[in-house]
Structures are given as structure tokens and as C-alpha cells.
Structure 1
């Protein structure tokens, strides 16, 4: 018998420098049943990844202050934490499939909330299968 799906068993790390957009993304993830951590930049995100082994999804904006943008963060996460799935968003930068890390997903802002929830549920289904 298949293991029952419980999204709260893993966490989403939301990396977004705009506080309002970040809060909306956290609400979206939590309403869908996922645990959410939040960071304003890549440096904070790396520290959270080092402390929380339950993080299984990186949900990051591309443009942000700090030592690296969202694409560089995504590549670093792919190299250091291979099981972490990656969702990248941007309101200005268009990302082609070949620019994404392996198995990465891109959404243009404003992203459709139901599209994000579906992507999270698809990732969760892969984790638990």
C-alpha cells in the first residue's frame, strides 16, 4: 500500500527580498499544507539549508541583493543539496530551460498561485513515491 501523502513532512525555503511577495509565498505554501522557511537573500538561504534538513524545495526569486542572485543560489543548492527541488521566479528576467539547474522549474511573476501549488504537490508526490 502506498504511503499516505503529508506535505507537512517537508519544508519549502522561500527566498525573496520583497517582504510582501515573500509573505504571500509563505501563505501560499502554508495554506497548501507545507512548512515554510523564509530568507531575504541567498546568504540567509544557505544558513537555513545548513540548519534544516527538512527543506526539500527551494522557491527563489532571481533578482535580490547579496553575494549571489537566485540562479547562482539554485546552482549552489543543486551542487550541495542534490535532493532539493528548485522553483525559480522572476518578474523581469526570462529564463530558458537550459539556464535552469537540473529538474528546475521557472515561473514568471506574477506567478499563478495554483501553478505554484501544483508544482509543490508534484514535487511532494515524487518525494513520497
Structure 2
């Protein structure tokens, strides 16, 4: 049986988004907006913390990560690692100053500053599409 973090989205119930953002104010804003949209949110202050959550077999339906964060890896490294270890998991990478060449290699890049409602809509659309494909 697949572990929770390794299995595809589960049917029914609220979807869970892992938000990795070191700016507490921005993390709170996006987490609150996702919760208001009916999502469960797990907050992480770094890519390392995000990997700890995923390694704990907690089911996650999508990840939103900042690029520049403290720790041993940044959001780009996190996205690359997740693409290998959790290829089914939608990952959204946000940054205000990422090289366009690098941004173009990411599965879903969101330029900062971003419209929080637009980001929530993007995540909901992708997660709902994944559910419909089950």
C-alpha cells in the first residue's frame, strides 16, 4: 500500500495544500485565502520543513513554495526533488526575481507580487482537474 504522501489524491473531503513560505505575513495571507476556499493548509517555513511534512506520510494534494527560503534547499530545488519523488503532485513555485530561463523549466511558476485570489483559483483549478482525472 502506498504511503499517504506517495498516493494520488484521495476522493472526497477537502484538499490539502502545503505552503512553504518563509515570510510569515505572506504565508498567513495565502493560507487564510486557501482555507476560505475550502482547502486544508499545512504551513512550512522552509523547503526542508516541507520535505519533513511529506516524509511524515501526510497526504498533500498540492504544494505552493517560495524560492528564496532559509535551509539546505530553495524552492527550485524543492520543486525538482518533488518532480522526482512525487511526480503526481502539483507544485507551484513563486518568486519575484527568478531568472526567466529557470522559471521556464518549472512546472508552474507564479511571479511575485501575485494576486492571492488568482493563485487560489489556479491551485483550485489544478487540484480539481487532478480529482476529475482520478
TM exceeding 0.5: yes
Give the secondary-structure state (helix, strand or coil) at the position aligned to 1:82.
coil
Distance 1:29 1:52, change over 3 A: farther
Match of 2:92 in 1: 87
2:59 corresponds to 1:54 = yes
| 1:94–1:108 contact (8 Å) kept in structure 2 | no
Query: Given that residues 78 and 84 in structure 1 are in contact (C-alpha distance below 8 angstroms), is that contact kept between their aligned partners in structure 2?
Result: yes
Match of 2:16 in 1: 11
Q: Is the 8 A contact 1:13 1:55 kept in 2?
A: yes
Structure 2 vs 1, CA of residues 7 and 106 (structure 1 numbering), >3 Å: closer, same or farther?
Answer: farther
State the Cα RMSD in Å: 1.8
Structure 1 residue runs of 5 or longer lacking an equivalent are none
| Superposed displacement of residue 98, structure 1 | 3.5
1:73 equivalent among 64, 73, 78 = 78
TM-score normalised by L of structure 1: 0.85
In structure 1, distance between residues paired with 2:40 and 2:87 = 20
Name the SS of the counterpart of 2:69 in structure 1.
coil
CA positional deviation for 1:84: 0.9
Please give the TM-score of this superposition, normalised by the length of structure 2: 0.82
Aligned 1:28-67 pairs, distance under 5 A: 28-67=33-72
Query: SS state of the match for residue 52, structure 2?
Result: helix
Alignment: residue pair count: 121
Q: Give the deviation of 1:108 after TM superposition.
A: 1.2
After superposition, the C-alpha distances for 1:33-64 in whole angstroms (9 at most, x for unaligned) are 11000111111100101224420111000011
Structure 2 stretches of 5 or more lacking a match? 1-10
Q: Which moved more, 1:31-40 or 1:105-114?
A: 105-114
Residue 128, structure 1, aligned to residue 131, structure 2: yes
